[in-house]
Amino acid sequence: MRTRPTLDWTPSGDLPPGTTDLQPVADLLGAGGVLVLSGAGISTESGIPDYRGEGGSLSRHTPMTYQDFTAGAPARQRYWARGHLGWRTFGRARPNAGHRAVAAFGRHGLLSGVITQNVDGLHQAAGSEDVVELHGSLDRVVCLSCGARSPRRELARRLEEANAGFEPVAAGMNPDGDADLTQEQVAGFRVVPCAACGGVLKPDVVFFGEAVPPQRVDQCRRLVREAASLLVLGSSLTVMSGLRFVRQAAEAGKPVLIVNRDRTRGDRHAVTRVALPLGAALTTVADRLGVPVDGGAAGGPGQP
Q: What is the pLDDT of residue 61?
A: 55
Q: Is 56 annotated as a binding residue?
A: yes
pTM for the model: 0.88
Q: What is the pLDDT of residue 2?
A: 38
Look up 108 and say whether it is catalytic.
no
Residue of 61, 123, 135, 269 with catalytic role: 135
Q: What is the pLDDT of residue 12?
A: 67
Q: Is 174 annotated as a binding residue?
A: no
SS3 114: strand
- Kindly give the pairing relationship between strand 131-133 and strand 111-116: parallel
Q: Is 101 annotated as a binding residue?
A: no
Q: Yes or no: is domain 58-92+139-205 CATH 3.30.1600?
A: yes
Fold agreement between 19-48+95-135+212-299 and 58-92+139-205? no
d(CA 84, CA 88): 7
Q: Determine phi and psi for 257, rounding to 5 degrees.
A: -120, 145
Q: Is 115 annotated as a binding residue?
A: no
CATH topology of domain 19-48+95-135+212-299: Rossmann fold (3.40.50)
From the DSSP assignment, how many helices (H) and strands (E) are in the chain? Answer: 10, 9
d(CA 144, CA 149): 10
Q: What is the pLDDT of residue 87?
A: 84
Those residues whose C-beta lies under 8 Å from the C-beta of residue 296, and which sit 6 or more positions away, are: none
Domain spans of the chain? 19-48+95-135+212-299, 58-92+139-205
Q: From the CB of residue 275, how many other CB atoms can be counted at a distance below 10 Å?
A: 16
Q: What is the pLDDT of residue 303?
A: 43
Q: Is 161 annotated as a binding residue?
A: no
Query: Exposed, middle or buried, 244 (CB in 10 Å: 0-12/13-18/19+)?
Result: middle
Task: From first to last of the 304 residues of the chain, give the pLDDT tens digit.
Answer: 333 445 565 666 777 789 999 999 999 999 999 999 999 999 999 988 775 455 444 444 567 899 999 999 999 999 999 888 888 777 788 999 999 999 999 999 999 999 999 999 999 999 999 999 999 999 999 999 999 999 999 999 999 999 998 887 665 666 666 677 878 888 889 999 999 999 999 999 999 889 999 999 999 999 999 999 999 999 999 989 999 999 999 999 999 999 999 999 999 999 999 999 999 999 999 999 999 998 654 455 544 3
User: CA angle 96-293-117, nearest 5°?
Assistant: 45
